Structure 1
Amino acid sequence: MTNELTGKVAAVTGAASGIGLATTKAMIDAGAKVVMIDRDEAALKTICEELGEAAFPLVIDLLDPQDCDTLLSQILEKAGQLDIFHANAGSYIGGDLIDTSPAAIDRMLNLNVNVVIKNVHNVLPYMIERRTGDIMVTSSVAGHFPVPWEPVYASSKWAINSFVQTTRRQINKHGIRMASVSPGPVNSALLADWPEENLRKAKESGSIIEPTDVSDAIMFMLTRPRNVTIRDMVVLPSNFDM
Structure 2
Amino acid sequence: MSTTFEGKVAAITGGASGIGLATAEALLAQGARVVLVDRDAAALRDLVARHGANCLAQVTDLLDPASCNEMVPQILARTGHIDILHCNAGSYIGGDLSEVADPAAIDRMLNLNVNAVMKNVHAVIPHMTRRGSGDIVVTCSVAGHSAIPWEPVYSGSKWAITCFVQTMRRQLMRHGIRVGQVSPGPVISALLADWPEENLRKAKENGALIEPSEVAEAILFMLSRPRNVTIRDMIVLPSNFDI
TM over 0.5: yes
Partner of 2:186: 185
Distance in 1, matches of 2:203 and 2:110, equals 25
Root-mean-square deviation (CA, aligned residues, Å) is 0.7
CA contact (8 A) 1:181 1:234 kept: yes
Q: Specify the code of the residue in structure 2 equivalent to 1:105.
A: I
Partner of 1:227: 228
For structure 1, the residue ranges without an aligned partner over 5 or more in a row are none
Partner of 1:172: 173
Distance in 1, matches of 2:67 and 2:167, equals 26
Partner of 2:24: 24
Instruction: Map 1:142-181 onto structure 2 (within 5 A).
Output: 142-181=143-182
Q: SS at 1:69's partner residue?
A: helix
Q: Are 1:34 and 2:46 matched, yes or no?
A: no
Q: How many residues are paired up?
A: 242
Partner of 2:112: 111
Instruction: Map 1:67-216 onto structure 2 (within 5 A).
Output: 67-100=67-100, 101-216=102-217
CA contact (8 A) 1:184 1:235 kept: yes
Q: SS at 1:70's partner residue?
A: helix
Once the two structures are superposed, residues 157-211 of structure 1 have per-residue CA deviations (whole angstroms, 9 ceiling, x without a partner) of 0000000000110000000000000000000111111111111110010000000
Q: Specify the code of the residue in structure 2 equivalent to 1:86.
A: H
The runs of at least 4 aligned residues of structure 1 exceeding 6 Å deviation read: none
Could you state the TM-score of these two structures normalised by the residue count of structure 1?
Answer: 0.99
Quick one: percent identity of the two aligned structures? Answer: 64
Alpha-carbon distance, 1:2 to partner? 1.5
Q: Specify the code of the residue in structure 2 equivalent to 1:149.
A: W
Distance in 2, matches of 1:194 and 1:121, equals 32
Alpha-carbon distance, 1:239 to partner? 0.2
Once the two structures are superposed, residues 47-92 of structure 1 have per-residue CA deviations (whole angstroms, 9 ceiling, x without a partner) of 1110110100000000000110011111112222110000000000
Once the two structures are superposed, residues 9-42 of structure 1 have per-residue CA deviations (whole angstroms, 9 ceiling, x without a partner) of 0000000000000000001111100010000000
